Chain A
């Protein structure tokens, strides 16, 4: 099983600032099949990034993903008020399709 570790656990930032979230895998992720999801309170998760760096349909270009192998990053270039949420990474290249524990981005 691939274990995903996310850091930091909480990121306190102001609107307009840049957010950098990290996801580290215990072994190489097959074909860089690494996704990022956003979840707001009381809502289902929403796919942001797939294949480590491809934005899902309708996702603003302030969200970008990078990385390969075992190290991945989600960057939000300029935080908008609606971006304050919890972000999860997930590897979907091999079963079990594990999620990281999440990074909460909250308002400073």
Chain B
């Protein structure tokens, strides 16, 4: 079964850090680019970051640049998002999604998301 499962969300204070994980199964993870997309409570979707299959290319939304770092471990079929200097406006459900080639492929596989709440 093709699946993405996110974990690592939780409650964190403003200025704090958190690391999200996404574990893939049922497809050839090492060949595919991956993304993080977030959704604030009651709001729309916001693309956050992309990483290529080989770790060679990363892209970030301006809203997270310099604070978030995307990475992956193909041996573990895992995608990560390291988040530092968290702000209240980072509160959202964070989804990982497959987008095989940046600039060419839509996001065809999505996880169920993990909730991040930034609050004191």
Please list the residues of chain A having a beta carbon within 8 angstroms of any beta carbon in chain B: 1, 30-31, 33, 35, 37, 39, 43-47, 50-51, 56-57, 88, 90, 92-102
Contacts and interface: CB of A to CB of B under 8 A. Distances in A.
Given A95-B59, A98-B47, A101-B44, A46 B99 contact: no
Interface residues of B, number: 24
A90 B44 contact: no
Interface stretch (B15-23, B66-74, B82-90, B108-116): B108-116
Secondary structure of the A contact surface, majority rule:
loop
Nearest to B105: A92
Enumerate the 5 nearest inter-chain pairs by beta-carbon distance, A residue then B residue, closest first.
A50-B106, A35-B106, A44-B110, A95-B59, A99-B45
**By CB atoms of chain A within 10 A, which of B47, B61, B97 has the most?**
B47
A1 B103 CA distance: 13
Nearest to A44: B110
Interface of B: 35, 37, 44-47, 50, 59, 61-62, 95, 97, 99, 102-108, 110-113
7 contacts: A46-B110, A50-B105, A92-B104, A92-B106, A95-B103, A98-B47, A102-B45
A47 B45 CA distance: 13
A101 B110 CA distance: 19
Given A45-B107, A47-B108, A99-B37, 15 more contacts: A1-B62, A45-B95, A46-B110, A47-B106, A88-B44, A90-B107, A93-B103, A93-B104, A94-B103, A95-B103, A96-B62, A97-B35, A97-B99, A97-B102, A99-B45
Contact of B107 (A35, A43, A96, A102): A35
Contacts of A88: 44-45
